[in-house]
Structure 1
Amino acid sequence: MTVQLYARDVGAGTPLVLLHAFPLSSAMWLAQREGLGGRFRVITPDLRGFGGSVLGAGEPSVETMADDVARLFRRLGLPRAVLGGLSLGGYVAMALCRRHPDLVSGLVLAGTRAAADPAEVRERRLAQADRLERDGTVRVLVDEVLPGLVGPTTYRQRALVYGRVRGLVQATPARAAAWAQRAMAAREESFDTLRGLKVPALVVVGSEDELAGEDDARAMTDALPNAELLVIPRAGHLCAVEQPDLFNQAVAEFAAAVSRPTA
């Protein structure tokens, strides 16, 4: 089933498409829409099943999610854009680079990994998907996923940020979360995709990220032909939410350089 993604679309200029983390929605990009919308056209879709987008039917896969995003590009008349993804959004961004490389003028990968899941992580995802479908609630995500989404500095010093992340997790539809967990569990590694990338890339990781840490970020940076690595201090997995000013500054500089005409 073809799914038409809901997307928030603000600002003007070079298009910047940002794909959200699991198990959140495009609401997580509020600080990016506010901080970057004055310089860029910031487009933040809800991936299928999340926020304002329907789940539809079909076998769970990040490729299907990437095709949804490619259709959004066509619907909005975007020939190309700087593409960013955090966590799940990074997996979808890499799949989009594999399947629709001509749409991408620059790539931002944050809090994500190019490796496939090891067996124990895959089994945990599938067990959580089963429980989400059985219970019909996201209690398992609050118990098992939420604690890893932010770093200890955010837990201790940013109660409002943690509370907002918790609220976004609690608002996630259980069926969509189960589908996405199965999609992530089934994904293959993306290192070959990164090695073949023809556009510049920025890899971002929080210094306190325990889900996709600096080793994962360096492995992606090393695989990419033209990439720089930024480690954001005092941030965990959701570095764009925990340290939005630092994230926005880096993305703005990167997107401006990508869009600058070459002599």
Structure 2
Amino acid sequence: MQLYTRSAGNGVPVVLLHAFPLSSAMWLAQREGLASSCRVITPDLRGFGGSRLGDDEPSVDAMADDVAAMLDVEGIERAVVGGLSMGGYVTMAFCRRHPDRLLGVILADTKASPDPEQARDNRERIALRVLDEGPGVLVEEVLPALIGRTTRERRAMVFGRVRGLVQAAPPAAVAWAQRAMAARPDSFDTLSGLKVPLLAIVGEEDELSPVADAEAMTRAVPDGRLEIIKKAGHLSAVEQPEAFNAAVADFVSSGPGGAGRSPG
């Protein structure tokens, strides 16, 4: 499947995969702020933004294969691949299925553990509600936890932007993605087998994927670093883009093991 993709800048290719239930529009500040240090590539995962949903069964593996096909279309052999929240789950599936395409890995506000049964049941409940009632359900069910306390209290424009992105989510894509995330496997073995460096980023106010999850992922990899973004919740790249961009730029240019250097 061809993903609708936006890119900016030159240099080391850095693929950033968006959170649920947003689109690549969430990466606007990264496309602008990182363009001087790398080539930022931000696809819409299937069903979101400009990408078609298709007929495949819900699976983070299918989304990871979409990303590999996108790299083929872009003529890119290897890239730093990263994602936030759902994008992190897809990134870990990419690590599992396409390890030879990696220069480095960025996992932001996500977790390597699978959903417990209660969380899987809740995803299905929300999927059914959205299909029945539309994306307005997400404002009630999902939006409150996406944003950190500081953003809710002090950054009304950021909150409003995220709300708009949430409301634009297509119901069929929302349901498909919820079921794909519910079925994802444990990824700690995948992380322990990484042959490239990892940057884990987490907002200090993230309640969905808290700092402890980022610490666990960092410990699992042979070569990893952790960056905690102050005054940010689950959408650290949107809430505190300057700090997020600085962490990514530093990783790409001088990451452990040389994430930003060409192989060989």
Matched, 1:218 2:215: yes
Q: After TM superposition, give the deviation of residue 164 of structure 1 in Å.
A: 0.3
- Measured in 2, the distance between the counterparts of 1:260 and 1:45 equals 23
AA matched with 1:73: L
- Measured in 2, the distance between the counterparts of 1:4 and 1:93 equals 17
Query: Aligned residue pairs: how many?
Result: 260
- Measured in 1, the distance between the counterparts of 2:229 and 2:8 equals 26
AA matched with 1:220: M
- Measured in 1, the distance between the counterparts of 2:68 and 2:51 equals 15
Q: Please, what TM-score do these two structures have when normalized by structure 2?
A: 0.97
**C-alpha spacing 1:193/1:218, structure 2 compared with 1 (3 Å):** same
Query: Paired residue for 2:200?
Result: 203
- Measured in 1, the distance between the counterparts of 2:260 and 2:84 equals 21
Superposed CA offset, 1:191-242 (max 9, x none): 0000000000000100000000011111101101100111111100000100
Superposed CA offset, 1:135-168 (max 9, x none): 2x11221101000001010001111100000000
Among residues 85, 88, 92, which one is paired with 2:86 in the alignment?
88
Matched, 1:162 2:159: yes
- Measured in 1, the distance between the counterparts of 2:167 and 2:263 equals 46
Q: After TM superposition, give the deviation of residue 176 of structure 1 in Å.
A: 0.3
AA matched with 2:16: L
Q: After TM superposition, give the deviation of residue 97 of structure 1 in Å.
A: 0.4
- Measured in 2, the distance between the counterparts of 1:156 and 1:66 equals 36
1:92-171 residue pairs with structure 2 within 5 A?
Answer: 92-135=90-133, 137-171=134-168
- Where structure 2 has 5 or more consecutive residues not aligned to the other structure, the ranges are none
User: 2:40 is paired with a residue of what secondary structure?
Assistant: strand
AA matched with 2:237: A
Matched, 1:247 2:244: yes
AA matched with 1:24: L
The percent of aligned pairs where both chains have the same amino acid is: 62
Q: Please, what TM-score do these two structures have when normalized by structure 1?
A: 0.97
AA matched with 1:238: L
Query: Paired residue for 1:9?
Result: 7
Q: After TM superposition, give the deviation of residue 261 of structure 1 in Å.
A: 6.2
**C-alpha spacing 1:67/1:126, structure 2 compared with 1 (3 Å):** same
Query: Paired residue for 2:260?
Result: 259
Q: After TM superposition, give the deviation of residue 133 of structure 1 in Å.
A: 1.7
